[in-house]
Structure 1
Amino acid sequence: MPTITTSDGTEIFFKDWGSGQPIVFSHGWPLSSDDWDTQMLFFLRHGYRVIAHDRRGHGRSAQVGEGHDMDHYADDLAALTEQLDLRDAVHVGHSAGGGEVARHIGRHGEARVAKVALISAVTPSMRQTPGNPDGLPQGAFDGLQAGLAAGRAEFFRGVASGPFYGFNRPGVEPSEALIDNWWRQGMVGAAKAQYDCVSAFAQEDYTEDLKKISVPVLVMHGDDDQIVPYAATAPRTAELVQNGTLKTYEGFPHGMPATQADTINADLLAFIQA
């Protein structure tokens, strides 16, 4: 399997297909690079080099016990881009992966970055505070960790068959294939890494990271996102970056790169080619 080794000795699995301008995909919790397969094949066919990695503790990367925080995630991403010598790259982050991309630029700068797309991202903060009243209370994150610890196989099934893809909405037909694939990805990763990752994406504030981003940023978010509240995140993210565009998708769920792949891929392509 293709891997890189980080400065702390962690092996990170990655996929690297094609040639041309690189597009680097950062996945959401508790998944793996497999969640980007539809996007990677789409952009491969359009002449791009596509790269996606499994976050440490997730997928096929090393199931280490430590380092499950945004600073380590960002540094792992930097190690990947440096060891593959990626330049003029477009970074695409979904959910927690959006936080990873923002922190990566906040810590390592934009020298290798051309554009950024943040999809259903956790930026600038998911947590409810006096300054972010539309965020989620701490109990919501505690519930994620409690559900995972009590029995993640059943808990993950419930997330995938319910709010993640909006399959709990009236009139929405669930896709058993998507549910199974989400569950498969989640169960491959390490439970401790996934448990710690909840704290990583929930507790962080990415405001200062976002302010450092001057390259074009496309913020893509569904207004029926039941995982990352739209009002608390997307509009604020687009305002904080220096060159941001907000694209709101009426009725789209958190997992819209899978459920509405044709729309998301087309809009991403238009943004990258602009």
Structure 2
Amino acid sequence: MDNFTTKDGTRIFYKDWGPKDLQPVVFHHGWPLSADDWDTQMLFFREKGFRVIAHDRRGHGRSTQTDSGNDMDTYVQDLLELTAHLDLHKAVHIGHSTGGGEVARYVAKAQPGRVAKAVLVGAVSPIMLKTDKNPGGLPLSVFDGFRAALAANRAQFYVDVPSGPFYGFNRPGAKVTQGTIDNWWRQGMMGGAKAHYDCIKAFSETDFTEDLKAINVPVLVMHGDDDQIVPIADSAQLAIKLLKNGELKVYKGYPHGMLTTHADVLNPDILAFIRK
């Protein structure tokens, strides 16, 4: 575990496990979580012979609770600086939800040789918000509701989301795991309320269309068809059409938080893609 300070003075917390000469796998968390959301994946891929890295996005987890810069371009600038500091080459970047959008933009901007492959899991790309160009998106009122709930009682909101739609625990017959709910809440409450509030705009209104088009490396797009947070029809099924070298894997009945609920399935699938 370590910290890196960006050019604008923001402290970014990150984990970096494994010998530096191994191929790096870099994990990008969703909103409003932290690097801890990847613990299962980091342990799995470290055992498989990779160097594994995960950071807390600015305003999240143990990184600086910033008042400004809580937007996708700044998140990616932080990442460009961090990966240069760590001197990463031929890395595999894996992003979930908001982190998937971050991966798309980072990979599109990264220097040649920095990235070998990318994986987008339940990613917000190409764009979540309903617009004239994206008529199937979610209306602004949905995200205004997120902001209102966060501002009114963030602690309760961060119980309601994982208890219900995030992990599909609101579905009939779902096996609810209290520890998973508590861990989501713990991670969320570590971050800054202002940064999390601002990030709702970043993950819902950022258009990643041109980023996806610009990516040249192989990309695996993974999505559950029962994702209640980022509906598959307006995300993965559109993103795959924009990628030059993309592969789509759809998981029947899986929720948005499938990396946690179905790590036993997704981790080997990601490993097979990396080794291909």
Shift of 1:239: 1.3
Quote the Cα distance in structure 1 between the aligned partners of 2:266 and 2:254: 10
CA contact (8 A) 1:6 1:76 kept: yes
Residue among 71, 82, 90 paired with 1:88:
90
Structure 2 segments unaligned to the other structure (5+ residues)? none
- RMSD value, Cα: 0.9
Secondary structure of residue in 2 paired with 1:9: coil
When structure 1 is superposed on structure 2, of 236-245 and 218-227 the one drifting more is 236-245
Q: Give the C-alpha shift of residue 238 in structure 1.
A: 1.2
Structure 2: distance between partners of 1:169 and 1:130: 32
Work out the CA distance in 2 between the residues paired with 1:44 and 1:231.
Answer: 33
Q: Could you list the runs of 4 or more consecutive aligned residues of structure 1 that deviate by over 6 angstroms after TM superposition?
A: none
2:263 is matched with which residue? 261
The aligned residue for residue 121 of structure 2 is 119
- Give the superposition deviation at 1:130: 3.5
Which of 67, 73, 80 matches 2:69? Answer: 67
CA distance in 1, matches of 2:136, 2:224: 15
| CA-to-aligned-CA distance 1:112-155 (integer Å, 9 cap, x gap) | 00000000000001111243233211111111111000010001
Aligned residue among 185, 188, 194 for 2:187: 185
What is the CA distance between 1:110 and its match in structure 2?
Answer: 4.2
Change (3 A) 1:212 1:110: farther
SS of aligned partner of 2:207:
coil
What is the TM-score of this pair, normalised by structure 1?
0.98
Relative to the length of structure 2, the TM-score reads: 0.97
Provide the residue aligned with 1:10 in structure 2. 10
Paired residues of 1:56 and 1:64 also in contact (CA < 8 A): yes
Select 2:157's aligned residue among 147, 155, 158: 155
Which residue of structure 1 aligns with residue 233 of structure 2?
A: 231
CA distance in 1, matches of 2:231, 2:34: 22
Q: Tell me, in whole angstroms, the C-alpha distance in 2 between the residues paired with 1:66 and 1:130.
A: 29
Deviations 1:131-190 (A, max 9, x none): 323321111111111100001000110001000000000110211000000000000000
Secondary structure at the residue paired with 1:210?
A: helix
Quick check: 1:134–1:229 contact (8 Å CA) kept in 2? Answer: no
2: CA distance, partners of 1:221 / 1:122: 11
Residue pair 1:133, 1:232 contacting (<8 A) in 2 also: no
CA distance in 1, matches of 2:135, 2:79: 31
Secondary structure of 2:249's partner? strand
In the alignment of these two chains, the number of paired residues is: 274
Structure 1 segment 96-111 matched on structure 2, within 5 A:
96-111=98-113
User: 1:224·1:250 contact (CA, 8 Å) conserved in 2?
Assistant: yes
Q: Tell me the distance in 1 between the aligned counterparts of 2:53 and 2:206.
A: 26
The secondary structure found in structure 2 opposite 1:116 is: strand
Partner amino acid, structure 1, of 2:2: P
SS at match of 1:246: strand
> Following the alignment from structure 1 to structure 2, what is the Cα–Cα distance between the partners of residues 3 and 239?
38
**One-letter amino acid matched to 1:7:** K
1:197-240 per-residue CA deviation (whole Å, 9 max, x = no partner) reads 00001111100011110100000000000000100010111111
- In structure 2, the residue matched to 1:217 is 219
Conserved? CA contact 1:32–1:59, under 8 Å: yes
CA deviation after TM superposition for structure 1 residue 109, in Å: 4.2
3-state SS in 2 of match to 1:64: coil
Residues 20-39 of structure 1: matches in 2 within 5 Å?
20-39=22-41
Q: Please, which moves more after superposition, 125-134 or 256-265?
A: 125-134
Q: What residue identity is the alignment partner of 2:134?
A: N
SS of residue paired to 1:196:
helix
